[in-house]
Structure 1
Amino acid sequence: MDFDLSWVLLGLPLAFVLGWLASRFDLRQFRLENRSHPKAYFKGLNFLLNEQQDLAIDAFIEAVQNDPDTSELHFALGNLFRRRGEYDRAVRVHEHLLSRADLSQADRDRAQHALALDFLKAGLLDRAEAALLKLEGTPFEAQARLSLLANYERSRDWAQAAQVAHKLNLAQPGSFSPRLAHYLCEQAAQCVAQKQWQEAEALLAQAIDQAPEAVRPRMALAQLQDQMGHTSQAWQTLVSALTLCPSGTALMAQPLASLALRCDQAQKTYELLQNLYTSHPCLDVLEAVVTLSKALSDDATSARQWYARHLEKTPSLVAASQWIAGEKLEHEQFHPQVQRALEHAVTPLLRFRCAACGFEATQHFWQCPGCQTWDSYPPERVEEL
């Protein structure tokens, strides 16, 4: 059979026409899709800027349905669900992203981090921990470790928190040593509760090495030594701490006075606290000085004169109330009522206040119960702030 070249010549123009028509059809379809997708996307963005989150979610869902391969729309949708508190829907969006085989490594790490945030916000701490641990060695490693730290604090897993803080201390430019010292002190407190004295002492020694200027480890060590019956050693620990950690003088003054009375160091401690009060007059040091003055002298009036000296230096309703408590008034029959009114007025002034959130408490906290911030409580009372 002879090959007819004329059919080839006729077929070439036909193939060209068909190819051109097909390309025009594809280009037209592509343009239509591009017009519809940005329209839905920008509509959702407009709703989001106007704080109409429900309508924004509907628009983004429409955009995702039109183009299911667009990862950015999935991230936007997942973040919106998380902000609205719809954590189960946010989890489904980010898990869907992670299940895609065509997802780039950068987007996969981003989706893993977003999923961990979903679990954290939902309070699913175990699943959040597992998701955050998968971010080791990724660009989100530092953020994941900070989230892990908060996670371990919430669950009071101080051993794990200490490990993460140690890693952050090595990797981050900032210092996590004070935070690490707190975690070691918390572990020591757990050991003390179980009467594991040696383990607690070793943990407190580590805390002092981590943060030599921190007040808490030395105070905790003195308390532990006192519980173990080493009162003189506990007294010496606090005396040394007054020099090494002067910022905590107000917190250490009264425990030091109590130890001094029990280990026959009242006179020496009295002179030490007198000097400290002269350089930095504060209510807690004043109370410690008065306590020792009463123990060293039978003259209660002489001890109470310290309140009058304090009033000469600074106006203080607390000191005035203490001074009036031992005075004889002209109308003595009204003294109990006056004293009760003063004590009622003084009570709020004796509280400690968090510098971060303003939460007030009758005792000093190393971590604020309100905002969970560490070292946010100044050692001074409200009246002295």
Structure 2
Amino acid sequence: MDFDLQWLLWGLPVAFGLGWLASRLDIRQWKREQQESPRAYFKGLNLLLNEQQDKAIDAFIEAVQHDPGSSDLHFALGNLFRRRGEFERAVRVHEHLLQRADLGAAERQRAQYALAQDFMKAGLFDRAQAAFESLDGTPFETEARLALLGLHERARDWHAAADVAARLERSGTGSFAQRIAHHHCEMALQADDQGRADEAEAALAKAREIAPAAPRPWLQTGQRAFAAGRHAEALRAWNELRRRAPHAFALVAQDHARAALAADQVDAARQTLQQAYQEQPSTDLLRAIALLDPAPAERRQRLAVHLQQHPTLGAAAELLAEPPQDWAEGAVVGLKQAVTRAARPLQRYRCAACGFEAQHHFWQCPGCLSWDSYPPQRVEEQ
């Protein structure tokens, strides 16, 4: 059968023309869809920047309808729902993303992390924990572990919290030694509550080993010994606390004095407390010293000197507890300084619109520029 070349000459131009026409139709449709989708997307962004979240959500829903395959639009919509507290809708958006077969691995992990955040915000902690745990080995691993750490601490699951914190530290996220020490101190408290003294002691030993400079393990060790009547042991623990973390010693200063009285170590304890007071003066240390040196005249003299040098309300209250006729010289001056210093913040005017405080009354607030927003009364008189 002979092939007629004339059909070939006519067919090629026709096929080319039909192909060109089809491509033009596809391009026009694609351009139209692309124009409609960004228009709704940018409209949503503009409304979001103008803090019109309701309208922004409507715009993003419209954008998703025009481009249902765009994962970024779904993430934006889900985040908006979460910010508004509509956690159920946020969960549905992110679960819909996870069900898509065409979603890449990176986007799937991102959706899983967003879903875990939805559960967390909604108070569904069991589901949030499972979602965060599934992110091990992904780029969201560190964020997920930090969230898990907070979840375990909220649930007071201190063993799990310590394990997660240790993994974070091993991964190079940062130092969690002091936080882990707190976890072991909490384990010690739980063990003591349940009558497991050996376990409590082991937990405190572990805390001291993990964070030797942390104050709480030494403080709590002394408190356990003091409660058990082992006063000399308590003094050793608290002296170690003072050596390693002197700023926290005032927290147990009075118990330190009581333990010294019980252990007949008054002179050494008085010297320790006086030295601590010289380094970091406080009324707690003054009360502890007064337990070891209860002479009224010396106690009032120490209080008067402290009040003059450190005019605080706490010191003023201590002085006011003494009979006025027994006040030491200079006590009235210190009392006046303390009261004046404490009253100074209350002598200001405060804007009712923005809370801006000033020593002088303004008709127009310098902070928010509102007119007549300053009440004529000072803060303490309102």
Using structure 2 for the length normalisation, give the TM-score. 0.81
1:118 is aligned to 118
2:252 is aligned to 252
1:319 is aligned to 315
1:304 aligns with 2:300: yes
Q: Map of 1:96-245 to 2, 5 A cutoff?
A: 96-245=96-245
CA displacement at 1:312 relative to structure 2: 4.2
- Structure 2: distance between partners of 1:243 and 1:25: 82
2:364 is aligned to none
- Structure 2: distance between partners of 1:193 and 1:21: 82
CA displacement at 1:257 relative to structure 2: 1.0
- Structure 2: distance between partners of 1:87 and 1:96: 14
2:270 is aligned to 270
- Aligned CA RMSD, in angstroms, stands at 2.2
CA displacement at 1:270 relative to structure 2: 1.3
Q: Helix, strand or coil for the counterpart of 2:325?
A: coil
Q: Helix, strand or coil for the counterpart of 1:195?
A: coil
Q: Map of 1:25-40 to 2, 5 A cutoff?
A: 25-40=25-40
Aligned identity (percent) is: 52
Whether the 8 Å contact between 1:290 and 1:306 is mirrored in structure 2 is no
CA displacement at 1:29 relative to structure 2: 1.3
Whether the 8 Å contact between 2:142 and 2:173 is mirrored in structure 1 is no
Q: Structure 1 residues 41 and 313 mapped into 2: Cα distance closer, same or farther (>3 Å)?
A: closer
- Structure 2: distance between partners of 1:3 and 1:293: 125
Q: Structure 1 residues 105 and 273 mapped into 2: Cα distance closer, same or farther (>3 Å)?
A: same
Q: Structure 1 residues 278 and 12 mapped into 2: Cα distance closer, same or farther (>3 Å)?
A: closer
CA displacement at 1:108 relative to structure 2: 1.0
- Structure 2: distance between partners of 1:11 and 1:320: 106
Listed as ranges, the gaps of 5+ residues in structure 1 are: 331-341, 350-385
CA displacement at 1:9 relative to structure 2: 3.4
CA displacement at 1:49 relative to structure 2: 1.6
Give 1:17's aligned amino acid. G
Q: Give aligned pairs, total.
A: 330
- Structure 2: distance between partners of 1:317 and 1:75: 53
CA displacement at 1:43 relative to structure 2: 1.5
2:94 is aligned to 94
Q: Structure 1 residues 66 and 301 mapped into 2: Cα distance closer, same or farther (>3 Å)?
A: same
Q: Structure 1 residues 70 and 58 mapped into 2: Cα distance closer, same or farther (>3 Å)?
A: same
- Structure 1: distance between partners of 2:291 and 2:158: 37
Q: Structure 1 residues 59 and 315 mapped into 2: Cα distance closer, same or farther (>3 Å)?
A: closer
CA displacement at 1:322 relative to structure 2: 2.9
CA displacement at 1:55 relative to structure 2: 1.1
2:363 is aligned to none
CA displacement at 1:320 relative to structure 2: 4.0
Whether the 8 Å contact between 1:277 and 1:286 is mirrored in structure 2 is yes
2:349 is aligned to none
CA displacement at 1:216 relative to structure 2: 0.8
- Structure 2: distance between partners of 1:229 and 1:315: 37
1:334 is aligned to none
Q: Structure 1 residues 79 and 320 mapped into 2: Cα distance closer, same or farther (>3 Å)?
A: closer
CA displacement at 1:219 relative to structure 2: 1.0
Q: Helix, strand or coil for the counterpart of 1:208?
A: helix
- Structure 2: distance between partners of 1:134 and 1:116: 10
Q: Structure 1 residues 149 and 4 mapped into 2: Cα distance closer, same or farther (>3 Å)?
A: same
Listed as ranges, the gaps of 5+ residues in structure 2 are: 327-335, 344-382
1:77 is aligned to 77
Cα distance per residue 1:151-197 (max 9 Å; x no partner) = 11221111111111111122235311111111111111100101111
Cα distance per residue 1:213-251 (max 9 Å; x no partner) = 111111111112233342221121112221122111211
CA displacement at 1:324 relative to structure 2: 4.5
